[in-house]
Structure 1
């Protein structure tokens, strides 16, 4: 397993000074969590990769605007979140459908039966998540998958903490209802 710096040891000051090794460390730490978050919002592999790349380009350009180094992770996710919103706006304006999602090759040490069951359960759950509005889906992903605090999610999404709490509450309620409908 690749070991990267935890949030408290991130070389944000060195990145601010333009040191390539620092940016490499930050990229290795955040590339996969950002990709997973973005992919769950846009559902397209190449678009997700592009948004992650654009996120890091913006981070390099605007690192001077980051006021607290320990907030680098939530600041980076807020850039990605805004890029996803821009993507959806452009998509709505152009009304060009997104290409169908390609199957990702996943590696599991389990046997083929366990792999199929896990993949099917994950697909069913994500299909239910995809029925939620983008605002609800994003707060659930940020809170339960990426484990950001409510305050960090408010910063990422540009909303108040009360709004984040409300969205999480209603998203969980809606998801619970979808699950109940599916199982009944």
Structure 2
């Protein structure tokens, strides 16, 4: 049931972000590469966070991360950790990374936000009324989001985001 809720929540968010990216592409005609170069690939999300780190942040027994593709965004790759307390999912995307990040940051439902920008990256965090914590990071061509739905202490997603941003190229 939790995974169904996570999936539904993520699909709504991805549909909104994908629509904004599509509008951006139509308006700017910047979706295709003039050089014919291959689009950047997402960073494998399971390489960015590990179960012992999740366990240290949220005391529980966590499954190893399981990687899977998003149904709504063919470029996004997720890595989900599960426990009796809930879930932690890391999403990685590279195609139109900046547009996807800006779209998520502009979403009215993502308020209030806490700025997490640092040297070489930009980011923000948001906690939903249902206590689902999110961190969104943009570093180079990588757009990473972390979703913590484990009833975790405030700042948990930010801590995990700090670990992840340090590993991004």
TM-score, length of structure 2 as denominator length: 0.25
| Higher percent of residues as strand | 2
Larger Rg computed on CA atoms: 1
Q: What is the TM-score normalised by the length of structure 1?
A: 0.24
